[in-house]
Structure 1
Amino acid sequence: MQRDLKAMSEAEYDLVIVGGGITGASVAWDASLRGLKVALLEKGDFAHGTTSGSSKLTHGGLRYLVNGELKLVRESLRERRVWEQVAPHMVHPLPFVIPTYGWGMKGPVVLSIVLTFYDLLSYDRNWLSDTDKKLPGFRSISRGETLDLIPSLPRDGLTGGKIYYDCQMFAPERLCLSVLMGAVEYGAKAANYAEVTRFVTEASASGNTKRISGVDVTDRLTGETHMIKGRVVVNGGGPWADKMIGMAEEHKPSRRLMRSKGIHIITRDISGKYAFAIQSDIGGHFFVIPWRGHTIIGTTDKLYEGDPDKVGVSEDDIEDFLRVVNNGLPGLELTRDDVIHFYAGLRPLIDDSEEGEEKDSYTASREAEVCDHSKLDGIEGLISALGGKWTTSRALAEEVVNMALAKLGREAKCETEATPVHGGEIGRLKSFIERAKRAHPDMSEEAIENLVMYYGSEYERVLEMAEGDNADANLKRRLGLNVPDIGAQVIHAVRNEMAQTLSDVIFRRTGLGTLGTPGTDVVKRVAELMARELDWDETRLANEMAETLKRFETVSPESQKAPQQVQGA
């Protein structure tokens, strides 16, 4: 995957996609498999925003069932199975425990009814070739069994619990990149750090409306500007999507988003192999999720009116969330010292509220909307994908591409439901991992398993970076005692995955920074490997290190205030 904005500007595309999160990547993947000529532009790094700031779940949305959103739940459950099938190295079953209290709405009878419907709606959940991916139906457990699993629960009124299954992503940012690389395999072109600053318009055939025929883009690495031509432009800007609509319409956008900020904290392993769905009296529900030998606790759901580019986690955010967690699980008694790492994301929710009406992001629907701006605003050649959730991004992309094909006067069947993502052709995961370990007895088993989980069937290509006459023998070694990642991953990220900055590698091409700081020595080692590849001088290396290490720090609330001018996505 190579970056070349100049070459992109010399071609004309069927589809120009603005936004390199999971929505844009999924549209690029789908469209490329259907034979369209595709260009994708992302103003930051791929998956740098909402896509990487999730709870790392691929789930049906049990809460949406309680809200009566049956269509959304069914779609989510179907897509959960699809992700298991097309990304077997990335999406895995995860058992959840829900405690029950009393005999009312939080009691065992009501929850059994809800979970029965949940299982019925996921009737196809076990249409999978890998038996390890199959999900059992829910079951009830006693009060004692529930306390054995979650000893920190409030005990007053506790009647027992239920165990049900959903799925978890090993690394959402990596899965997004795998989807995008699948698009590139089929001919798509992509560029990160390419900011769309203007829609290129011309008069439509009727003369009464305008038509978008491309975009102006600024290369944020060189400062150069380019025009990328496309017959249809797709706005997949996530939390920035309404700002893109405003840029196209040159006035207040016709479709608005409300942005909901969700923070997560990472702590030591406190949940074993089970995830917990916990209700707090002071802050709604939250999840306690096992992940890579640690525990993720999330998420908050708070209306965010600041700058989407500057969302972060403040000390106040952490303290407020700890109060919620300790209210729901008083036996934990978590303190700030228990927080190893933290991160934030923004949910882009469709805002249907009336002017002046109080907004509530918690109860707002997670359904997506595909907007044809020729019908909405009289702007030809623009489609916006708004809202939605990680799990249903593939289905949203299918709807977008169907609309784009109709505009282009073409027909082609969607192939993404049955096509593995880049690296997804592995068969049974456990067997694949065992074969990989036997094939590389000179490497640690942890390093090999980590490679398979990140790259799937492409892991050998990463190891090629450590082979050959000019390779560094140390590239097969782990970058630190407490991390499984190896030096070859850094070189691969630069040469083949468009990594441009140290943060790209630390946070999105590898898992080095996703559990908190791996240590200055590890960050420096990665920076030195990148400097050798990208010809950084000492000043650039030091600046990259400083910027990356800063990302492990909390931010001030004032730094997240909304900008005065509208910015593109």
Structure 2
Amino acid sequence: MSLDWNATWRQQVLPTLAAETWDLIVIGGGISGAGILREAARRGWRCLLLEQRDFAWGTSSRSSKMVHGGLRYIAKGQWRLTRDSVRERQRLLDEAPGLVEPMSFMMPHYRGGFPGPRVLGGLLSVYDALAGRRSHHFHDVQQLRYLAPGVKEDGLLGGTCFVDALTDDARLVMRVLGEARADGAVVLNGVRVQQLLREEGRVCGVQVEDCEGGGLLTVRCGVLAVATGAWAERLRLPDAPRQLRPLRGSHLLLPGWRLPVAQAFTFLHERDRRPVFVFPWEGATVVGTTDLDHREDLDQSASISAEELDYLLAACTQQFPGAEVVAADVLSTWSGVRPVVGSVAGELKPSNETREHVLWQEPGCVTLAGGKLTTFRPQAIEVLRACASMLERPFNDDAAPVFAVVPPLAIPGLSASQWRRLAGRHGRDLPKLAQLIARLGHETVGSTDTLWAELAVACEAEMVLHLDDLLLRRTRLGLLLPRGGEDCFTAIRQLCQPRLGWDDERWQQEIQRYRALWQRHHGLPDATH
């Protein structure tokens, strides 16, 4: 059997799934499902994760990339959510350096604006107390001009700086899955759960379809955990009440030189007083996010609308008027759908809905609804505690690390910062990546920080089934390179096609599929073409 985690291994493993009764099956390959699987696997549970498309395909690759405590949740009285978030943020900073990194956030203050320096300073004092460390400071106008050249100066009073964190959300999912696999979990993508199996009023397994090769399987389990985000209601009993309110958040990615920022800026949009962010990420600049009801088909990737594009460009003009950012400057876009548990009849504005999670339970099945990327571990613990109760086995939270320590490994030709980045993104797979770097060199793709060797390791050992898996989630080249990476397709083909085992016809199909997908879901909306 192939030792690498790839399409060949997948074909060999799929037919064997029905021969075993699993302790736990997890449905959903985003950060929530990955977290549940990881916590179960390290406790010795025999567990299986099934993802219908690709890992992190939904919200977990299209978030705002922030691992944050949720400062605005303090003002809404959501103390527990903020407390858990700041603690988990610090845990991730400590356990996953190079993947989760601290980022300075600046909020400028203007005459007559809200919140002013004192109000924000008070909120941040509570925020720091929950985190157990002080991280905020006020800078006067003169200091702010030095720290933030180009920021709007009309009525400027100064700015308050505090610290949160950023990540590559899709790589975070891959690292968590890697830890689960190291503890014996089986992880598959391209497998759709068609229905739950119930016997004597209890969920006892699933009927699944292989979306790549066809064919149906029946797989049995002691307990099922559903962590499908905005799709969480799909597998519930027909008479269960509908509670999810899918909310779309869209983002723009600009070349770093077009709107250079050394830290994140957060400010209230003039149109609706919602917080908006402009921050550096992967050598580019992100502008986000929106927050509105997503009424389109959840089975299609979300896309930015012309109205959202206008809203985010207006945010750039508001805060950085001299930059004169226009639609033609945009490298790429992405939109994610947040799985928010809505208020009664959705009576609140989208931004006022709680980001707290809830559990829905029926015998043999626990469904996680809502929640945040930052708090995936405590959410997973809560789900597993409920699952353990259904299995009638003991359960305790020993607060063990999510990630194993990446041992020092000398990779000639790489700087210390490059090593930190690669160790953070690849974790246990760093030795295999080092072997490929030795063969392929340490050249990066275009102007990005991504090594060609990272593409190679993804093709060989990161379960790439389609080209968009490789370019949008295993790496972020489809977002960071102009036109989705079009200029690099020849070199990508030369490196990746043989490693993926695709013939020329399959490669052409994948290129056509990727171009159409990128144009529709990561380019500019049609009204701007």
Is the TM value for this pair above 0.5? yes
**Selected match of 2:412 from 412, 436, 440:** 440
Alignment partners' CA distance in 2, 1:104 and 1:315? 28
Deviates most, 400-409 or 99-108: 99-108
**Selected match of 2:82 from 73, 83, 91:** 73
Match of 1:461 in 2: 432
Pair 445,81 (structure 1): closer, same or farther in 2 beyond 3 Å: closer
How far 1:420 sits from its partner (Å)? 4.5
How far 1:331 sits from its partner (Å)? 3.5
Match of 1:183 in 2: 180
Structure 1 counterpart of 2:377, which letter?
R
* Secondary structure, aligned partner of 1:234: strand
Match of 2:199 in 1: 202
Give a deviation string over 1:304-332, Cα, whole Å, max 9, x none.
11112221224443233212432344343
Give a deviation string over 1:147-196, Cα, whole Å, max 9, x none.
33334444343221111111111x11011111011111111111101001
Match of 1:313 in 2: 304
Contact 2:282 2:448 in 1 (8 A): no
Match of 1:267 in 2: 254
Alignment partners' CA distance in 2, 1:425 and 1:32? 19
* Secondary structure, aligned partner of 2:196: strand
Contact 1:502 1:526 in 2 (8 A): no
Written as runs of structure 1 = structure 2, the 5 A alignment for 1:104-503 is 105-123=114-132, 136-169=134-167, 171-203=168-200, 210-245=201-236, 249-251=237-239, 253-269=240-256, 270-283=259-272, 284-310=274-300, 311-354=302-345, 358-373=347-362, 380-415=363-398, 417-421=399-403, 424-426=405-407, 436=410, 439-441=411-413, 450-456=421-427, 458-465=429-436, 473=439, 475-476=440-441, 478=443, 480-503=445-468
Alignment partners' CA distance in 2, 1:190 and 1:25? 9
Alignment partners' CA distance in 2, 1:140 and 1:25? 39
Pair 216,115 (structure 1): closer, same or farther in 2 beyond 3 Å: same
Match of 1:129 in 2: none
How far 1:263 sits from its partner (Å)? 0.7
Structure 2 counterpart of 1:540, which letter?
R
Structure 1 counterpart of 2:18, which letter?
S
Contact 1:195 1:218 in 2 (8 A): yes
Deviates most, 141-150 or 176-185: 141-150
How far 1:271 sits from its partner (Å)? 4.5
Contact 1:119 1:137 in 2 (8 A): yes
For structure 2, the 5+ residue unaligned runs are: none
* TM-score, normalised by the number of residues in structure 2: 0.90
* Secondary structure, aligned partner of 1:27: helix
Contact 1:34 1:412 in 2 (8 A): no
Match of 1:549 in 2: 515
Cα RMSD of the aligned pairs, angstroms, is: 2.5
Alignment partners' CA distance in 1, 2:93 and 2:421? 18
Match of 1:523 in 2: 489
Pair 420,323 (structure 1): closer, same or farther in 2 beyond 3 Å: same
* Equivalences, count: 511
How far 1:292 sits from its partner (Å)? 2.1
Alignment partners' CA distance in 1, 2:524 and 2:284? 28
Alignment partners' CA distance in 2, 1:528 and 1:244? 42
**1:505 lines up with 2:514 in the alignment:** no
Contact 1:212 1:382 in 2 (8 A): yes
* Secondary structure, aligned partner of 1:540: helix
Structure 2 counterpart of 1:452, which letter?
A
* Secondary structure, aligned partner of 1:243: coil
Pair 159,465 (structure 1): closer, same or farther in 2 beyond 3 Å: closer
Pair 241,558 (structure 1): closer, same or farther in 2 beyond 3 Å: farther
Pair 444,139 (structure 1): closer, same or farther in 2 beyond 3 Å: closer
* Secondary structure, aligned partner of 2:480: coil
Alignment partners' CA distance in 2, 1:479 and 1:389? 32
Pair 525,12 (structure 1): closer, same or farther in 2 beyond 3 Å: farther
Give a deviation string over 1:85-109, Cα, whole Å, max 9, x none.
2222211111111112336742111
Structure 2 counterpart of 1:539, which letter?
E
Give a deviation string over 1:312-370, Cα, whole Å, max 9, x none.
2244432332124323443432101221121111111002323xx54521100011112
Identity over aligned pairs, percent = 30
For structure 1, the 5+ residue unaligned runs are: 126-135, 204-209, 374-379, 427-431, 468-472, 560-569
Pair 316,60 (structure 1): closer, same or farther in 2 beyond 3 Å: same
Contact 1:287 1:299 in 2 (8 A): yes
Match of 2:98 in 1: 89
Pair 480,227 (structure 1): closer, same or farther in 2 beyond 3 Å: same
Contact 2:98 2:422 in 1 (8 A): no
How far 1:493 sits from its partner (Å)? 1.9
Contact 1:447 1:486 in 2 (8 A): no
How far 1:487 sits from its partner (Å)? 4.0
Contact 1:479 1:525 in 2 (8 A): no
Contact 1:275 1:287 in 2 (8 A): yes
Pair 329,68 (structure 1): closer, same or farther in 2 beyond 3 Å: farther
Pair 275,339 (structure 1): closer, same or farther in 2 beyond 3 Å: same
Structure 2 counterpart of 1:344, which letter?
S
Pair 447,106 (structure 1): closer, same or farther in 2 beyond 3 Å: closer
Structure 2 counterpart of 1:288, which letter?
V
How far 1:554 sits from its partner (Å)? 4.0
How far 1:520 sits from its partner (Å)? 2.6
**Selected match of 1:47 from 56, 59, 77:** 56
Contact 1:271 1:288 in 2 (8 A): no
Contact 2:33 2:228 in 1 (8 A): yes
